[in-house]
Amino acid sequence: MTLPVSYDDILAARERLRPFFSASPVRHYPLLDELVGYGIRVLVKHENHLPTGSFKVRNGTSSITALTSEQAERGVIAATTGNHGLGLAWAGAARGVSVTICVPKGNNPEKNAGIRSFGATLIEVGDRYDDTVVACRTIAEQEQRTIVHSTNHRPVVAGAGTMMAEFCEQVPDLDAVVIALGGGSQAVGAMAVAGAVKPDLQIFAAQSQGATAQHDAWRDGIPRAGEPVQTFAEGIATGSTYNLTFEALRGGLADFVLASDDMIAQGVRDLWSITHNLAEGSGATGLAGLRLLAPQLAGKTVGIVMCGGNLDAARAVEILAGKTPGR
Domains of the chain: 7-54+153-320 (3.40.50.1100), 56-147 (3.40.50.1100)
Bridge partner list, 179? 205
Whole-model pTM: value is 0.96
Q: How far apart are CA 165 and CA 158, in angstroms?
A: 10
* Summary mean pLDDT of the chain: 97
User: Within its chain, how far is the Cα of 28 from the centroid?
Assistant: 21
Question: What is residue 308's DSSP assignment?
Answer: B
At residue 1, the pLDDT reads 80
What confidence tier does 128 reach under pLDDT thresholds 50, 70, 90? confident
At residue 327, the pLDDT reads 84
At residue 263, the pLDDT reads 98
What confidence tier does 93 reach under pLDDT thresholds 50, 70, 90? very high
Higher pLDDT, 130 or 76: 76
Task: Express each pLDDT in 266-295 by its tens digit.
Answer: 999 999 999 999 999 999 999 999 999 999
Longest Cα–Cα distance in the chain: 57
User: Within its chain, how far is the Cα of 300 from the centroid?
Assistant: 24
What confidence tier does 130 reach under pLDDT thresholds 50, 70, 90? confident
Bridge partner list, 99? 76
Residues 6 or more apart from 184 whose CB is under 8 A from it?
151, 205, 214, 242, 245, 246, 248, 249
What percentage of the chain has pLDDT greater than the value 90?
A: 94
Out of 81-85, 116-120, 151-155, 194-198, pick the least confident: 81-85
What percentage of the chain has pLDDT greater than the value 70?
A: 100
Cβ contact 124:104 at 8 Å: yes
Cβ contact 26:43 at 8 Å: yes
